[in-house]
Structure 1
Amino acid sequence: MNTRERLLTEAARLLDAGGESVVTLRAVAQAVGVSHNAPYRHFVDRNDLLAGVVERDLTLLAAGVEAARSGDGSASERLRRGLATFVDYGCRYPSRYRLMFSKPEIVLAESALEAAGTAAFEAVIGLVQDGQKAGVLPATPTRALANLIYATIHGLIDLEIAGCVTEQDGLPGSAQGISLLLNLMRQSAKKGQGQLEGS
């Protein structure tokens, strides 16, 4: 692992342990065991470092979704597994998740981050296309449907990691919420197919 990757790994670890506020170039350098100036050879500033963490994780998320998409099982099962990639990430790494989707200044810090975000969304679009072809998702414009599912996932995860949904309240967590959404969409798709066959 080269120095840049070690710095990113340590920044992610600090994020997980103490949140965004504890991540500084000095703290990361100290944890890795390099000079205080060493991170500046790889990152312009703190935002650039954080953007690197987000870019790396977005790339991993996109790969996870693509792996689910090309895996075994029905289109419905692959869709659920692909979307579960985001749920698992958000619930396991809440500080990274918040950084990834709630910090526009981080996006501005690194142009490569926009490409990584686009790749992650395109992976979701691929899942949605597969679901539509298999008849488990409604035949609506694909990008619009993917955006709706994507936004719903983020909203559900946000609520869960903020502690706003609990079993005691009878509210579904993000995984249950996504299952409900997909079941409703599958019913809508079947209803639409039935209407076409009856017309």
Structure 2
Amino acid sequence: MTTATNKTTGEKLVEAAADLLDSGGENAVTLRAVGMAAGLSHNAPYKHFANRNALLAAVAAASFEDLARAANAIRTSSRPPAEKMADAIGLLIDYSQRRPARYRLLFNNPETAAAGGELKERALETFEQFRSIVQECQEAGVLPDVPSQTLASLIFASAHGLLAMEGNGQMHPEKGLSDVATSMELLLDLLSPNGKSRR
């Protein structure tokens, strides 16, 4: 892992861009502003990134790597599979609430979704951690025996959809949806062969 004392200029720029994204949204991320925030010349980012989109792609790749690392810690813990599943969903919820602009960059940005190369690899690594947890739940009999990749995608998509509704102010109790965590718990219970995925 890179320490604070031996970070490359590129890594410093990516960190500065991520901080600006978190504090001010995508509009706050300009190459000039990132150079200044990183304590470098305003021209420094132009030597490392072709344009703003390339810099944002680097931020997304690094953020996916962080998410994959956190999900891996959940997957390799000694907790029961159903609790790992709840923790993985909790990770997404927490990330979306603490870093909404970065969450949108990762999961609600068409350019991120269409990207290939390193960014796509990092995104798939994050999904693979999630899929592995789903597979553990299937092996423990708390989720149905269907292709784990398909089931993981459906659960992932449901969580993102609910988070989008919450972010848009569309999650109202009168619609029967109180919050994302409770709604996802209900979904997992409904998917469970015995109707109780968490217990």
What band does the TM-score fall into relative to the shorter chain? 0.7 to 0.9
Is 1:173 matched up with 2:173? no
Aligned-residue offset at 1:169: 6.7
Q: Which residue of 2 aligns with 1:197?
A: none
Residue 95 (structure 1) aligned with residue 101 (structure 2): yes
2:9 corresponds to which letter in structure 1?
Answer: T
Deviation at 1:26, TM superposition (A): 0.5
Matched residue count: 189
Q: Distance in 1 between matches of 2:37 and 2:28?
A: 12
Task: Measure how far apart 1:20 and its partner are.
Answer: 0.6
State yes or no: 1:61 paired with 2:67: yes
Distance change (3 Å), C-alpha of 1:22 and 1:110: farther
Candidates 157, 172, 188, aligned match of 1:182: 188
Partner of 2:148: 142
Distance in 2 separating the partners of 1:46 and 1:190? 49
Say whether the 8 Å CA contact 1:62–1:120 is kept in structure 2.
yes
Q: Which runs of 5+ in 1 are unaligned?
A: 192-199
| Greater alpha carbon shift after TM alignment, 165-174 vs 155-164 | 165-174
The TM-score normalised by the length of structure 2 is 0.87
Measured in 2, the distance between the counterparts of 1:18 and 1:98 equals 13
1:72 is paired with a residue of what secondary structure? coil
For each residue in 1:142-198, what CA deviation from the matched residue of structure 2 results, as whole angstroms up to 9, or x when unmatched? 111111001011111111222222568762222122111111122xx127xxxxxxx
Change (3 A) 1:47 1:39: same
Residue 72 of structure 1 and its aligned partner are, at CA, apart by 2.2
TM-score by length of 1: 0.87
Corresponding residue number in structure 1 for 2:58: 52
- Give, in whole Å, the separation in 2 of the partners of 1:138 and 1:169: 27
Aligned partner of 2:45: which letter? P
Q: Give, in whole Å, the separation in 1 of the partners of 2:77 and 2:92.
A: 17
- Which amino acid counterpart does residue 37 of structure 1 have in structure 2? N
In the alignment, residue 27 of structure 1 is paired with which amino acid? A
Q: More deviation in 94-103 or 125-134? A: 94-103
**Counterparts of 1:1-199 in structure 2 under 5 Å?**
1-107=7-113, 111-166=117-172, 171-186=177-192, 189-190=193-194
Pick closer, same or farther for the CA change 1:110–1:125 going to 2, 3 Å: closer
- The separation in 2 between residues aligned to 1:101 and 1:10, in whole angstroms, is 21
Could you list the structure 1 runs, at least 4 aligned residues long, displaced by more than 4 angstroms after superposition.
107-110, 166-170
